[in-house]
Structure 1
Amino acid sequence: MRHVARKRFGQHFLADGSVIDAIVAAIDPRPGQAIVEIGPGLGAMTNPLVERCGRLTVIELDRDLARRLRERPELQVIESDVLRVDFTALAASEPMPLRVVGNLPYNISTPILFHLLASAGVIKDQHFMLQKEVVQRMAASPGVKDYGRLSVMLQWRYDIESVLDVSPEAFEPPPRVDSAVVRMLPYPVAPAVAPALLGELVAVAFSQRRKLLRHTLGRWLEVRGFGGAFDTQRRAEEVPVAQYVALAIEIGGTPT
């Protein structure tokens, strides 16, 4: 039966064979690896992935698609909103770190990325199809216009690389934006910083991008009684990720 893409799920199904091959080559799945695919849809990536790794865990919210996927014994199907899935618990049932892949719904891609942050310690790598603009923001360096809160909050925990650009014509139905595949490699040792504190600090810093930090982060630091040295005569996009992390640690951020 033909499946009609559902707008509320942000469904755009990959249909270009050469793009699918390039993505699978970038992922390079191996037999026995613990691979989790978010949003398998009609199986465009599911099929070549499972051919190479033997088994696959898939997370699918659309109950019609989940029902079809359950007919395949090589798939472990989790019918759920991915934002409700505990990836740390999922990894506990596997003998090796998770490899997470997927063509993410563009309307909730950022919440998914932040949800996965909490489980970065049990994940080997992540390969996602995303809106190209989002990938550019994720990988941006200080001093460029795309560098912002998303850049800092992901780069403190991952090495991020854009590996493939994908045009709208590769999908059915085609989205209205260009897409890209991103590779995210969690750092083996995470900085000893409280993620919630770092997140608050960065959100304040980028709350008024055009103003110097003394108007935003500087006042936030004063309220906290911070007496250390931090140059607030800069704009938020001029501060490297490592300096945000160091500041969070200095003002008392420890993992919770």
Structure 2
Amino acid sequence: MSEQHQARKRFGQNFLSDPNIIRKIIEAIRPKEGDRIVEIGPGLGAMTEPLMEAMDHLHVVEIDRDLIARLKEKHSPERLTIHEGDALKFDFASIVPDGVPLRVVGNLPYNISTPILFHLAEFAEKVKDMTFMLQKEVVMRMVGEPGTEEYGRLSVMLQYRFNMARLFDVPPGAFRPAPKVMSSIVRMVPRPAAECTADDYALLGKIVTAAFGQRRKTLRNTLRDYLDEADFTALAIDPGLRGERLSVEDFVRIANHVAKKSG
């Protein structure tokens, strides 16, 4: 089969090709025998090959039929399990029927990175860690702190469920074709369930979405469907603040207050 593969825009394909960056990413992941690792979007196998060298079996999720054919031609099913289809619809829990925690890695397609992150968050209790390459701008939002421009809905909802760290940046020249943006590697480790204290996760999501829906408006306006002046007083939160000034814990307190009030 030809070594040439035309990157497909509809799949958000940019293939990692810099051996030094690849080595640095693998060192950050530290794969070892016995790990249950799934790689999202293996592409041309830049990370797949070194991952397989370190372990006895690897899982991958791939949507591109041509790349699936390449993988099948190159690797036996005893070493590589290929899950054909869209990572956005994939049931990651199906890889861990025996309870071995899952490690998720990949160069995520930048055009659907946010929905994939929210989809993966649904499986957090079955995950040991996740290490991804994403557009730097997205990673900065993921790790954003209250009071910063980057801090928003993505920051709050992911930081509620994960401890996250930006590891290092990856320049456009490390890919082919080169994207127009800088990339970053981020590690996500699920927080213990005991620390995730929202009584109603869906309600938390709605409140966070409302708070950041109109960033220039104050909480008095953005959360008026949920809180009145008495509620703000009870919570000791200034209604004149904007959503970006609240911590993740503040949003959890608000959501739990609303859940109790309406329950």
TM-score per shorter chain, which class? over 0.9
Deviation at 1:95, TM superposition (A): 4.6
Distance 1:20 1:179 in 2: 13
- Which amino acid is the alignment partner of residue 69 of structure 1? L
Secondary structure in structure 2 of the residue aligned to 1:112: helix
From 20, 33, 36, give the equivalent of 1:34.
36
Q: Is the 8 A contact 2:11 2:109 kept in 1?
A: yes
Secondary structure in structure 1 of the residue aligned to 2:166: strand
Match in the other structure for 2:216:
210
Q: Quick one: percent identity of the two aligned structures?
A: 52
From 67, 70, 81, give the equivalent of 1:68.
70
Distance 2:253 2:120 in 1: 23
Match in the other structure for 2:10:
8
Superposed CA RMSD in Å reads 1.5
Deviation at 1:10, TM superposition (A): 0.6
- Which amino acid is the alignment partner of residue 60 of structure 2? V
Match in the other structure for 1:82:
87
Match in the other structure for 1:251:
258
Deviation at 1:179, TM superposition (A): 0.3
Aligned residues: 250
Match in the other structure for 1:151:
155
Q: Is the 8 A contact 2:227 2:258 kept in 1?
A: no
Distance 1:170 1:221 in 2: 47
Q: Is the 8 A contact 1:139 1:155 kept in 2?
A: yes
Q: Is the 8 A contact 1:209 1:235 kept in 2?
A: yes
Residues 80-229 of structure 1: matches in 2 within 5 Å?
80-92=85-97, 94-189=98-193, 190-193=195-198, 194-217=200-223, 219-222=224-227, 228-229=234-235
Q: Is the 8 A contact 1:204 1:220 kept in 2?
A: no
- Which amino acid is the alignment partner of residue 20 of structure 1? I
CA deviation string 1:81-134 (max 9, x = no partner): 001111123222x45100000000000000000001110000000000000000
Deviation at 1:250, TM superposition (A): 2.3
Secondary structure in structure 2 of the residue aligned to 1:181: strand
Match in the other structure for 2:240:
233
CA deviation string 1:199-248 (max 9, x = no partner): 1000000011112111111x12148x958424322111100011101221
Normalising by structure 2, we get a TM-score of 0.91
Confirm whether residue 49 of structure 1 aligns to residue 55 of structure 2. no
Distance 1:201 1:126 in 2: 26
Distance 2:99 2:189 in 1: 19
Moved more, 208-217 or 101-110: 208-217
CA deviation string 1:29-76 (max 9, x = no partner): 010100000000000000001100121000000011112212312110
Match in the other structure for 1:58:
60
Give unpaired runs (5+ residues) of structure 2: none
Deviation at 1:188, TM superposition (A): 1.9
Q: Is the 8 A contact 2:216 2:242 kept in 1?
A: yes
Distance 2:131 2:214 in 1: 32
Normalising by structure 1, we get a TM-score of 0.94
- Which amino acid is the alignment partner of residue 168 of structure 2? L
Distance 1:216 1:244 in 2: 13
- Which amino acid is the alignment partner of residue 116 of structure 1? L
Distance 1:246 1:95 in 2: 32
